Amino acid sequence: AQSVAQPEDQVNVAEGNPLTVKCTYSVSGNPYLFWYVQYPNRGLQFLLKYITGDNLVKGSYGFEAEFNKSQTSFHLKKPSALVSDSALYFCAVRVRASGTYKYIFGTGTRLKVLA
Amino acid sequence: SAVISQKPSRDICQRGTSLTIQCQVDSQVTMMFWYRQQPGQSLTLIATANQGSEATYESGFVIDKFPISRPNLTFSTLTVSNMSPEDSSIYLCSVVAGQSGRLYEQYFGPGTRLTVT
């Protein structure tokens, strides 16, 4: 079955330190991968995507993600965390389904940046 | 990007009744989806709303319980029928952008918070 996994329910990091939120995937064919963020009491916002090309993709708010085909991973990273980055982060993959496409979301990782 | 509005933003309903949620997009989009999300948890895809044909439902969701309409490329409705407390959740409408440079990006409405008593 095609799926995406986020192994950590919560990640804690000190402000100013680098952060990593992990995501692994299992899909047939070339993966289209995404990261979304959900701030408290707000809707989901698109952060970045990998479709093809460079393995390191840059997105909004200083976030980036590294696509690793051999490890089937797409970890989200940021060199220096801010308290305002505290939110719920979702990894997603686009898969073929019934002649069209759909998006499968991971279980989410709560990022807590400590001042 | 697409701007999506949903109505109502929240509602409290009695069990056994039905609620219709509206989703309006500010541009024509091909792909539109309905999700359910418990607060602080992951998204569960209910169905893909297809313009001009029946919606495609995910395992565990059926048309009798969650009828969907998609009369045009900017509008869809999701009805939660014969509600029970287990239907209490946030219901999200989303669309996929098709413009160059924003291909495949998914945009979400603000959600409808439903409480069934």
Which of B42, B45, B92 lies closest to A107 in CB terms?
A: B42
In the block, tokens 């109502």 appear at B8
pLDDT (0 to 100) of residue B67: 97
Examine the pLDDT at B113 and tell me if it is beyond 80: yes
pLDDT (0 to 100) of residue B101: 63
pLDDT (0 to 100) of residue B61: 96
pLDDT (0 to 100) of residue B2: 82
Q: Give, as one character, the DSSP assignment of residue B85.
A: G
Nearest Cα to Cα of residue A34 among A112, A101, A104? A104
**Chain A residues with CB-CB distance to B45 below 8 A:** 102-104
Q: What is the mean pLDDT of residues B87-116?
A: 88
Contact check, Cβ <8 Å, A49/B109: no
Distance of CA B107 to the CA centre of its chain: 12
For residue B34 the two structure tokens come to: 């309905």
Q: How many other CB atoms sit within 10 Å of the CB of residue A17? A: 12
pLDDT tens per residue, range A64-89:
999 999 999 999 999 999 999 999 99
**Chain A residues with CB-CB distance to B41 below 8 A:** 107-108
Q: How far apart are CA A12 and CA B18, in angstroms?
A: 41
From B6, which residue of chain A is nearest by alpha-carbon distance? A43
pLDDT (0 to 100) of residue A70: 94
**CATH classification of the domain holding A11:** 2.60.40.10
Which range, of A10-14, A57-61, B104-108, averages the lowest pLDDT?
B104-108
pLDDT tens per residue, range B26-68:
988 888 999 999 888 899 999 999 888 889 999 999 999 999 9
CATH number of the domain at B4-108, out of 3.40.50.720, 1.10.3470.10, 2.60.40.10, 2.60.120.10? 2.60.40.10
Q: Is A59 on the interface with B (CB under 8 A)?
A: no
pLDDT (0 to 100) of residue A97: 78
Examine the pLDDT at B81 and tell me if it is beyond 90: yes
> Which residues, 6+ apart, have CB-to-CB distance to B3 below 8 Å?
B25, B26, B107
pLDDT (0 to 100) of residue A41: 78
Q: What is the mean pLDDT of residues B65-85?
A: 96
* Interface with B, mutate which of A2, A36, A45, A46 (most B CBs under 10 A): A46
**Chain B residues with CB-CB distance to A106 below 8 A:** 42
Q: State the pLDDT confidence band at B9, using cuts at 50, 70 and 90.
A: very high
Nearest Cα to Cα of residue B42 among A34, A89, A19, A11? A89
Nearest Cα to Cα of residue A91 among A1, A7, A13, A30? A7
Nearest CA-CA distance, residue A68 and chain B, Å: 20
CB pairs under 8 A between A and B: 54
For residue B15 the two structure tokens come to: 């069990």
Contact check, Cβ <8 Å, A108/B105: no
Q: State the residue range of the domain holding A71.
A: 3-114
- Tally of structural domains, chain A: 1
E strands, B40-111, are: 43-49, 56-57, 68-72, 75-80, 89-96, 106-108
DSSP per-residue codes, A41-96: TS-EEEEEEE-SS-SEEE-GGG-EEEEETTTTEEEEEESS--GGG-EEEEEEEEEE
pLDDT (0 to 100) of residue A75: 98
Q: How many other CB atoms sit within 10 Å of the CB of residue B98? A: 15
Q: State the pLDDT confidence band at B87, using cuts at 50, 70 and 90.
A: very high
